[in-house]
Amino acid sequence: MTVHVFIGPTLAAEDVRREIDAVVSGPASFGDVYRAACARPVAIAIVDGYFENVPAVWHKEILWAMSEGVHVFGASSMGALRAAELADFGMVGIGSVYDAFSSGELEDDDEVAVVHGSEAEGYRPLSDAMVNIRATLKAAVREHIIDPDNASAIVNIAKRDFFYAERTFTAVLRSAAAAGVAPREVDSLRNWLPSGRVDQKAVDARMLLSHLRTWLGTAPPPKRVTYRFEPTDAWHEATRLARAKDSASTSSTVASEAQGVSDALVEELLISGTYPAVRDAAAARAAAIDLARRSGVRPDAIAVRSALEDIRRTFGLGDREALDRWLSAQRIDHAELERFALDEARLAWAKPLVDQAARGAVVDHLRSTADYGRLVTRAEAKAKQRENLGIAQPSLSDVGLDEPALWRWYFEERLGRSLPDNLDVFARAAGFSDKDSMRIAVLRERWYLDRQGD
């Protein structure tokens, strides 16, 4: 089960990976949760996020992720804010910072905001979060480093007099001394800080990781929500922008890491010569699923069950033992199977639209591969031959074969493969509407080849 964690500067990526197996990205911004959810993780955890110069994580992308079955957790910073705002919809908040926002004790975004370095610098914090200053001064009072009144005065100075990007213990204590806070207590606090400082955001982030580790051990099912997600025009435009950002990015690891598409797997596809076909088919699958999602399609239980039955018929999984073997071979647990079946149901919905769009692009695609002229000439020759001989559709007697012999010829001699166990399943997978339409095409092909010399 994959978890995607957005974090930095609260903790480093290495700190996360020591706790749980996760895809780790830097602070979340607009579109990041949407793109992460498209990769079908079991959960997304938001710790840090951008506040000011970059568009922040949108509430609606979190709501969409949860409606897609992805659990979303938040703690410490932007994650605590969003969790408090979306708790009624099912986002889970962890830690003291979340509790303070959820209860209304804290309300301002600047309580958790800090300025930090770049990704190359490890998102190193360059200011102190107000929640950390509050937690540190509470600890100082408990340890009798400073009295409650002076601690309260310092908190007020930090909150009132400092923009979040300029808020550091050094600057706050300097300002407190200038404002008349007892010099002895300011000095005592300054000397105590290197060992006594409390990083509440980091404490909460570690609590979240510990919670996730335990939670993952329960093999959680997909998220269930009580609301219906509405894909508005604004949502469609937002997802378009999010996809455009993803296309332009050269550092995105969401799709490859979260879906387990390792370099080793790609190498297996490359060495077998199947990579181009798999890549194109996967791109078409992703586009069809995205079309269904953007259209607001949320398959009901009947559609999902039908998709599961199609999977079982396609692979001959008639009993539970056969299904379990298949799931084990494909590295799918039962929770992942439900998500897989949901996407299969979306594909079934989108298939007629995708087929229509594909037919409109077939000619130009074949021209791009220089195959159009050859294929259209052959198709015209077959039709002309039937017209000249007055046969609209050849029969088995016209080709001198019974049905088993026709199928053996087509699969073993024409395609060079064994006869499939289920012709109906093969026909649909190959793009025919059913077995009968495949039979018509095969009869025409055999009849044409038999008369090539006529």
Question: Two tokens at 334?
Answer: 């039962």
| CA 128-129-135 angle, 5° bins | 105
At residue 257, the pLDDT reads 37
CA–CA separation, 39 and 63 (whole Å): 16
At residue 55, the pLDDT reads 82
**What tens-digit pLDDT sequence spans the chain (454 residues)?**
689 999 999 999 999 999 999 999 999 999 999 999 998 899 999 999 998 767 889 999 999 999 999 999 999 999 999 999 999 999 999 999 999 999 999 999 999 999 998 888 889 999 999 999 999 999 999 999 999 999 999 999 999 999 998 999 999 999 999 999 999 999 999 999 999 999 999 999 999 999 999 999 999 999 999 999 988 877 887 887 787 766 555 333 333 333 445 667 777 777 787 888 888 888 888 888 887 877 777 777 778 888 888 888 888 888 889 888 988 898 888 777 878 888 888 888 887 777 777 777 888 888 888 988 988 898 898 889 888 888 889 999 999 999 999 999 999 998 898 898 888 888 877 778 788 989 999 999 999 998 885 4
| pTM recorded for the entire structure | 0.64
Q: Which of 106, 162, 102, 158 is nearest to 133 (CA)?
A: 158
At residue 246, the pLDDT reads 63
293 contacts 346 by C-beta, under 8 angstroms: yes
At residue 247, the pLDDT reads 54
Half-sphere exposure of 214 (CA within 13 A, CB side): 5
What is the residue-wise DSSP string for 200-249?
HHHHHHHHHHHHHHHHHTT-PPPP--SS-----HHHHHHHHHHHHHHHH-
Pairing between strand 43-46 and 23-25? unpaired
Angular region, 269: left φ>0, alpha ψ -120 to 50, beta rest: alpha
At residue 111, the pLDDT reads 96
At residue 262, the pLDDT reads 64
